[in-house]
Structure 1
Amino acid sequence: MIEEQRVDRDLVEKARSGDAESFGELVRRHRSLMLGWADRVVRNRTKAEDVVQDALLQTLKKIGSLDQPDKFVPWLRTLVRNQALMSIRGGSSKREVAFGDGWGDKENEAEREIGRRRSKDDVDDPQRAAIGRAAVVDVRKLLKRLSERERAVIEAHLIAGMPVQEVARMLDMTSGAVYTNVSRARKKLSEARYEDEIERYVSARRKAGKPTVRLVERARDCHRFAGAYNTMASMMLVTLATSGHRNVSLTDVMGATGHAFRIQVTADIGLSGPYAYDWKETMREGYRRLGYSVSLFGGAGALIEHPDDLIDALDDLFDSLEKGVPIVAWNVNNAEFGMIAGFDDDKRSWAVTDTSAADKKLAYSRLGRLREDTEWFAAVPGRRIDADRADLLSSLFAQTARHTRGVGREDGKLQSSYSLEGETAYRTWIRLLDRQSLRDPLGAAYNAAVLYEARKHATAYLRGMLESGYLSALCPSAVPAVTHAQRQYARVAACWEAVAKLFPLPYGADPTAPGPADRAARLLERACEAELAAADALEEAAGLISGNRNRAKRNFYKNK
């Protein structure tokens, strides 16, 4: 703690003397703290980012007036808190007004007024004049990313500290237009931060002699799986194929991840239901059951809120691509799982692929940020690992049984706050169909197609396990239970096939029409019954496999 304070004090002293690098280091050391302080006041992560951005400009402006460098952190906390309180009082619902001609004259007037204020401040505070001549250069570089209008507003309001109403009068604007330009400028400055961090990272790669271009040609094979509705499983399969694991099928991946046995819906059977599960846990367990480790970044509902969130993942992403192994990522082009198949440092872009695009370019800085509120997720396959086959299979069967019964919790954590699973999901389908209130034809068609595909893979996965002799070699006593489960899933698949034919993609029969709705509801009642019977059988098999494993261990140690 004392050492941290000493470093801060030294950096503050240098920053007060005009050392821009020291000021930048102070920002890097304390930005996460500033974000936390702001978030506790505004209770919104995005607004907290805006507060911190404004507070940094104020820090640059006022650090020369800090008399006690060893009190930097309390001083900074007060500055951030005041900025956060001002943001709450300032409001956010403002009307944008168009600008007329003669903007350049107004900007010059603004510059002159700001200059007068700065000149007075510099006379009163020589130390501020010193920091202004050096560290302001970095802020000026960012401000050059803005339009003339935005730059004049930012300099007047955030740097010179002029009230919004005064800025509006000086620039012949409405207060609403000032707020609009501040909002736009903040977004541009935020984007500039990401781009600048990327530039520093790429520069470091060049100095280290890293490759500047790479494309995993074999990743183009993913188009062979474009017909799979489950894009996570199909993209995982491509990463395994490029890693040399070529004897793995889509059915194997669907089974190992649990996707073959999952039913997950929203309350209205909407399009997002099939993706409403724990991405990280599903992919971690899926790769583990297939014999691989994996590095995971982000997750369902996770957002990139700071450049460090992206930068922290880049070493793993680039290393994997340099080894010829692509990366599974969310929303590289559409709202689905896709793949990063290459990079080009000169163009600062990834080569991305999903079911609708191949080798499309995506800026480095836009990964995980393609659209507003884009969820951030990337999975980097790792090394081959040894695994206990009995443990992995029993855990998969037990997990499936819990999911089917709609327990919804694993390790005490709710899998999704807005999705319904297992038997509850079936009951939701049936209730909406019986009431003729399932009003989303596309949602009904898509969910039915996803579930038909999944149960076909469940049937094939268990059948392959039985016919190959894998299960009889692992635990002969579990064969009857798994055989029963396989037959039940075949019944389930037949029911979902019929439902999918009633509601084919992109649009089928109206799910609120009495005939198709009643027919689908009766089919799903039978499917639910069979699914619960399959869950009972898999739970029995899980216990037998686990017990057989434990006995084998005891005998092993007994005979040593």
Structure 2
Amino acid sequence: MDALILNRHEEQQDERIADDILVERAKEGDREAFGELVRRHRAKVYGYARSYTQEPFMAEDIVQEALIRAFLHLGTLIDSRRFLPWLHRIVRNQAYTRLQKNPQKREHVFSGLRSDHAEPSHTDWEDLDSILHRLGRRWSQPVDADTNPEEVLVRRELLQTITGMLHCLNPRERQIVESHFFDHLSPLEIARLFQISQANVYQVLSRSRKKLIQEKTRVAVDQYVQSRKEAGNMKKAVLNKPEAFSLRTWVTGVMALHGMLAATERSMSLPMVMGLSGHAFRLTVVPENIHIAGPTMFDFGRVLEQGLRNLGFSSRSVSEFKPNPSASINANQVEPSLLSANAREKRQLSQTLPQALELIHRSVDRGYPVLAWDLFIPEFGLIYGYDDEQKLLHAGDNCGHQTTIPYDHLGRGLIEDLFVLALDESFEITQRQMLIGALQMAIAHYHGEEPTCGAAHGLDAYAKWLDAFEKKTIEPNGNSYTLAIAQDARRNASAFWKEIAETWADPAFDDIRPACLEVSDLYGKIADGFAQLCTLFPFPAGGEPNDPAQNEQAIALLTTIEGQERQVVALMEDMLQALTA
């Protein structure tokens, strides 16, 4: 009896896992996930097959073949949430293939699809319009009493989805896509059918898939806005302009975090936000040339969400990043036209745009602005309002940008990355817990214990930076920007430790208060060293970092800074040990 109860419990647990999650696992090769999908839907799929052929043995063969094809082609499923309609389509096509091989059986089965109205006697199953003509006429008629309503609904939704998406393709692309997805022909078979090379088939399928994904995203955004309209949620909501837009800091991610916190009951000083979130202690550089992307080459979700936890908040984020490294683009060195609205229109829509919009609506409706990446330039900004009728977002940053952005421009900036992050819930956290979290985060960063994202982090960043100076491979603009970020971060680090020493009155900090002041003094000296380097290599021009004289001076200053930074790390490790003892 206990074993039976346990098995039922396990089955209930499995049922709680959504189909789309199982599909994503199956795409990664998880056969057990695919087996669970089959277990859930096999009876329904068999019913689909029986609706096309009255022979149970043929229906079983169709199901078996369809499941094999589904497993092999699972990677082509664009929307994981539509697994069942997609599997139904494969069953239908397998049934058509079988019935074409047996004309008598085909005529018997398809007589159930015919009506008394005039209809072409022949359906070309390789032509989408011909298929849709036959199925569309059937779906437009009253449903028979013995017809499964759920099946009719699924087929009608499938019709609407297909017609809406495939119209974005040209005739040639449609023919090849239909052959691949409807008839499950291999690229070799398609190449022979259309008398083109397999390479051309792959090119057409790849190009068509991108178009279909874009069309799917457009439809999803329209459906999302329409659903808000139908629910009576269409409105305009704009919060007060964040005061963070006037903050004088180069670390725009912290500017955005500060602006989010200002809308809560836990507003803090800029140095405190920068310290507790870990950004006061970060140093990230691109080896070889010290590219401008260095300071923002980190795992946004991991670092920002962990920083917010140190501040007493859980958070939610939506992201989609392009595989090409951002270090290949410098916004200061591209044609201005590439930063224009027209340029955004030509870039790919992010597939996560509907989810991002939903997160933005939810957060703004709760009174909290949303952190977002690359709204105007590759920096962080804040979204603080929306207008559903105009499909516009109200956004700005502390780099001089403040305007409205169309919904579909989100994620179509120069880098073509989408990242939005919103506060979720606050939770009780003590100052001691905050500081322990910040110290753990800072020390892990200094020792390189985080994903590299193609850059050098913490103490290792100094070695790579010095190496680039010694090799004289420095890119002036990126180097001067990285210096400005480092100087700003360390200046705030100094203020952070001083604020703790002077204002955190809890006796628990008495033992580390002298160390806080010592670390504050060291960070002040580090910031002064970076300030000298900023004078030597001012942003945006960047000076002459590869000039022998300036190069030698920079190496001496950076070597001194590295030594001071190592002293800081040792002191912070001692403080962490004291707090956790």
Query: If the length of structure 1 is used for normalisation, what is the TM-score?
Result: 0.70
Q: Which residue of 2 aligns with 1:448?
A: 483
Distance verdict in 2 for CA 1:156–1:296, change over 3 Å: closer
* Aligned 8 A contact 1:499 1:520 in 2: yes
Q: Which residue of 1 aligns with 2:253?
A: 232
Where does the alignment leave 5 or more consecutive residues of structure 1 unmatched? Answer: 18-29, 40-46, 70-114, 548-560
Q: Which residue of 2 aligns with 1:20?
A: none
One-letter code aligned to 1:393: L
Q: Which residue of 2 aligns with 1:503?
A: 537
One-letter code aligned to 1:419: A
How far apart, CA to CA, are the structure 1 residues paired with 2:457 and 2:315?
A: 26
Q: Which residue of 2 aligns with 1:119?
A: 124
1:515 aligns with 2:549: yes
Q: Which residue of 2 aligns with 1:287?
A: 308
1:253 aligns with 2:266: no
Q: Which residue of 1 aligns with 2:239?
A: 216
How far apart, CA to CA, are the structure 2 residues paired with 1:267 and 1:430?
A: 10
Partner secondary structure for residue 119 of structure 1: coil
Distance verdict in 2 for CA 1:348–1:383, change over 3 Å: same
Cα deviation digits, residues 312-369 of structure 1 (max 9, x gap): 55543312111221111222332222222222222334333343532332324x53x4
* Aligned 8 A contact 2:93 2:182 in 1: no
Mapping 1:7-26, distance limit 5 Å: 7-10=44-47
In the TM superposition, residue 387 of structure 1 has moved relative to its aligned partner by 0.3
Q: How many percent identity over aligned positions?
A: 21
How far apart, CA to CA, are the structure 1 residues paired with 2:181 and 2:42?
A: 28
Q: Which residue of 1 aligns with 2:442?
A: 400
Cα deviation digits, residues 219-239 of structure 1 (max 9, x gap): 3x34313x4221111011111
One-letter code aligned to 1:330: W
2:367 counterpart (280, 304, 324)? 324
* Aligned 8 A contact 1:64 1:131 in 2: no
Mapping 1:51-200, distance limit 5 Å: 60=89, 63-66=92-95, 118-119=123-124, 129-130=134-135, 136=159, 138-147=161-170, 163-164=190-191, 167=194, 183-200=206-223
1:487 aligns with 2:510: no
Partner secondary structure for residue 408 of structure 1: coil
Cα deviation digits, residues 242-290 of structure 1 (max 9, x gap): 23544x2222211111111111112121112111223223222322232
Q: Which residue of 1 aligns with 2:299?
A: 278
One-letter code aligned to 1:434: E
Partner secondary structure for residue 477 of structure 1: coil
Distance verdict in 2 for CA 1:209–1:121, change over 3 Å: closer
How far apart, CA to CA, are the structure 2 residues paired with 1:234 and 1:127?
A: 54
Cα deviation digits, residues 459-487 of structure 1 (max 9, x gap): 1111112222x166432111111111111
How far apart, CA to CA, are the structure 1 residues paired with 2:291 and 2:482?
A: 8
1:386 aligns with 2:418: no
Partner secondary structure for residue 482 of structure 1: helix
How far apart, CA to CA, are the structure 1 residues paired with 2:499 and 2:489?
A: 15
One-letter code aligned to 1:163: I
Partner secondary structure for residue 383 of structure 1: strand
1:359 aligns with 2:403: yes
How far apart, CA to CA, are the structure 1 residues paired with 2:48 and 2:394?
A: 41
One-letter code aligned to 1:258: G
Distance verdict in 2 for CA 1:65–1:185, change over 3 Å: closer
Distance verdict in 2 for CA 1:528–1:372, change over 3 Å: closer
How far apart, CA to CA, are the structure 2 residues paired with 1:51 and 1:475?
A: 51
* Aligned 8 A contact 1:35 1:52 in 2: no
In the comparison of the two structures, how many residue pairs are matched? 461
How far apart, CA to CA, are the structure 2 residues paired with 1:204 and 1:445?
A: 48
How far apart, CA to CA, are the structure 2 residues paired with 1:67 and 1:159?
A: 10
Moved more, 310-319 or 286-295: 310-319
Moved more, 437-446 or 159-168: 159-168
* Aligned 8 A contact 1:150 1:181 in 2: yes
How far apart, CA to CA, are the structure 1 residues paired with 2:71 and 2:178?
A: 22
Distance verdict in 2 for CA 1:7–1:475, change over 3 Å: same
Partner secondary structure for residue 511 of structure 2: helix
One-letter code aligned to 1:408: G
In the TM superposition, residue 511 of structure 1 has moved relative to its aligned partner by 1.2
Mapping 1:341-352, distance limit 5 Å: 341-352=384-395
1:340 counterpart (383, 386, 395)? 383
One-letter code aligned to 1:119: D
How far apart, CA to CA, are the structure 2 residues paired with 1:421 and 1:13?
A: 60
How far apart, CA to CA, are the structure 1 residues paired with 2:427 and 2:360?
A: 20
In the TM superposition, residue 212 of structure 1 has moved relative to its aligned partner by 2.4
In the TM superposition, residue 371 of structure 1 has moved relative to its aligned partner by 5.3
Supply the RMSD in Å over aligned alpha carbons. 4.3
How far apart, CA to CA, are the structure 1 residues paired with 2:453 and 2:358?
A: 32
One-letter code aligned to 2:426: R
Cα deviation digits, residues 432-464 of structure 1 (max 9, x gap): 2233x2331111111111101111101111111
Distance verdict in 2 for CA 1:15–1:348, change over 3 Å: farther
Mapping 1:413-428, distance limit 5 Å: 414-428=450-464
Distance verdict in 2 for CA 1:214–1:428, change over 3 Å: same
* Aligned 8 A contact 1:442 1:507 in 2: yes
Query: If the length of structure 2 is used for normalisation, what is the TM-score?
Result: 0.68
Cα deviation digits, residues 180-238 of structure 1 (max 9, x gap): 6655443332111112222222222223222422222323x34313x422111101111
Cα deviation digits, residues 389-424 of structure 1 (max 9, x gap): 2122123224323433xx222xxxx42242212221
Q: Which residue of 2 aligns with 1:4?
A: 41
1:475 aligns with 2:519: no
How far apart, CA to CA, are the structure 2 residues paired with 1:15 and 1:128?
A: 18
Q: Which residue of 1 aligns with 2:285?
A: 265
In the TM superposition, residue 494 of structure 1 has moved relative to its aligned partner by 0.8
1:459 aligns with 2:494: yes
* Aligned 8 A contact 2:260 2:370 in 1: yes
Q: Which residue of 1 aligns with 2:579?
A: 545
One-letter code aligned to 2:479: A
* Aligned 8 A contact 1:280 1:299 in 2: no
One-letter code aligned to 2:44: V
How far apart, CA to CA, are the structure 1 residues paired with 2:313 and 2:404?
A: 28
How far apart, CA to CA, are the structure 2 residues paired with 1:186 and 1:474?
A: 60
* Aligned 8 A contact 2:500 2:516 in 1: no
* Aligned 8 A contact 2:483 2:534 in 1: yes
Q: Which residue of 2 aligns with 1:104?
A: none
* Aligned 8 A contact 2:476 2:541 in 1: yes
Where does the alignment leave 5 or more consecutive residues of structure 2 unmatched? Answer: 1-35, 55-66, 99-119, 140-154, 325-347
